[in-house]
Amino acid sequence: MNGFTNWWRTVGVLVGLELRQRTRATRWRILLGVFFLVVSLVVFGSLWFSSTTGGDDAYRDWAENLYLIVMGFVGFLGLVIAPTMTATSINGDRKDATLAVVQATPASGLQLAAGKLLGAWIASCALLAVSTPYLVWAIAEANYPVGFSILGVVVVALLFLTYCGIGLGLSALFSRPIGSAAITQLVMLFLLIGLPVVAVMLVPTTETQVMANRPTWDYDPTDQTSTCRVEMREVTIQHTERIWWIVAPNPAVVLADSAAQRDAGRHARRSGENVYVDTGGDGLRRPQESALGALAGGVSEFRTAPAAAQDRGCPEKRSDDYPRYTDYDFGPGQDTTGYLGHTWYLGLLANLALGGIGLAFAARRLRVPAGTLPRGVRIA
């Protein structure tokens, strides 16, 4: 236990060095001040826009989406700023000839890497701390349980940790700070934009053809009537449930699935009304589904396998007065998509694994003696 305590005491000293190095810099304080002003501008700007373009319920509708506005903005900027904390942490200190001084101490390579990682993570969490007034406001205004909203904040903080780990590993991999910083931002963009694009491009590879009964309408121009008949046809279906895991590590998907209040087992959408109805009969008004809930639902639909039976029969007309498409009952053969549950923890684990790989690689590169160094890397 004594050795364990001493190990973490050393890491704590290194974390303190990292934080003092950052807090002494005036530009870091300026960055936090500018960040707070930008968040304030986004929040009050959206409130002004909603008040001028909305009706009597403008504030209520805006307040229900305030959590999405704040967390979406903070999460996006954190995606850019958090990995930047460590993207030049190792090669930058090596270039400034300050890394060798720390490596000369009894601290191990893993302790050095952990100290840099935790120091950068605490500094990046300052973005959440600066946004605390608006987060508290958003949680208070939302009609959702507080626990889900707090869970979203915790998940975003853990995502910041993984991004810092990825940046740390790339800082150890590349000898030039500008190269590691650029590659780190490309990796972040790939996680945010590249993964959904790859998944969409792979959708055609999941297509299969099956034979199924489908209705066909024959039009008689004489009496201007249509007759339905069933014929066997080749139908193309998509098994997107085979590739849904590609989008699981996407930070937007992780945040949406963890914070969105979507539970098809407890809530159902009432047709024609902008409320959710609790099947338990509590009568409480539920907010409209936000973009976070829609994204979580889209991922759930992406995970859902197509119906085993693709047969469709001719509909039964339910109304003889001005029949419309909605006046027909197509029976139980239709596809029904239910919410399959949360997957945010899988995406978060994938991100944590990437951050852990970066931490392990950085610890290996910080070992002393170093052995064979990469080309262009110097000891001091």
Which of the four pLDDT bands, split at 50, 70 and 90, describes residue 171?
A: very high
- Ramachandran category for residue 376: left, alpha or beta (phi over 0 → left; psi -120 to 50 → alpha): left
Phi and psi dihedrals of 238, rounded to 5? -115, 125
Quote the percentage of the chain above a pLDDT of 70. Answer: 80
pLDDT at 158: 95
Q: The tokens 């506005």 sit on which residue?
A: 69
Q: Which residue has the higher pLDDT, 168 or 97?
A: 168
Enter the tokens of residue 19: 């934080």
Which of the four pLDDT bands, split at 50, 70 and 90, describes residue 116?
A: very high
User: Is the confidence at residue 145, as pLDDT, over 90?
Assistant: no
Q: What is the pLDDT averaged over residues 287-314? A: 77
Using CA atoms, how far residue 218 sits from 7, 39, 225, 227, 230, in Å, is 80, 59, 8, 5, 11
Q: What is the pLDDT averaged over residues 246-275? A: 63
Quote the percentage of the chain above a pLDDT of 90. Answer: 30
Q: What is the pLDDT averaged over residues 248-258? A: 90
Which of the four pLDDT bands, split at 50, 70 and 90, describes residue 282?
A: very low
Q: What is the pLDDT averaged over residues 344-367? A: 92
Alpha-carbon gap, residue 369 to 221, rounded angstroms: 89
pLDDT at 128: 92
Are 69 and 46 in contact, with CB atoms under 8 Å apart? Answer: yes
pLDDT at 246: 94
pLDDT at 187: 94
Q: What is the pLDDT averaged over residues 238-249? A: 91
Alpha-carbon gap, residue 7 to 337, rounded angstroms: 51
Q: What is the pLDDT averaged over residues 187-197? A: 94
User: Is the confidence at residue 121, as pLDDT, over 90?
Assistant: yes
pLDDT at 319: 46
Range of lowest pLDDT (59-63, 151-155, 231-235): 59-63
Tell me the pTM.
0.81
Range of lowest pLDDT (52-61, 73-82, 242-251): 52-61
319-339 residue pLDDT tens:
444 444 433 444 444 344 445
DSSP three-state, residue 199: helix
Q: Taking the alpha carbons of 188, 192, 193, 198 in that order, is the dihedral positive or negative? A: positive
39-50 residue pLDDT tens:
999 999 999 988
Q: What is the pLDDT averaged over residues 36-59? A: 86
Are 104 and 29 in contact, with CB atoms under 8 Å apart? Answer: no
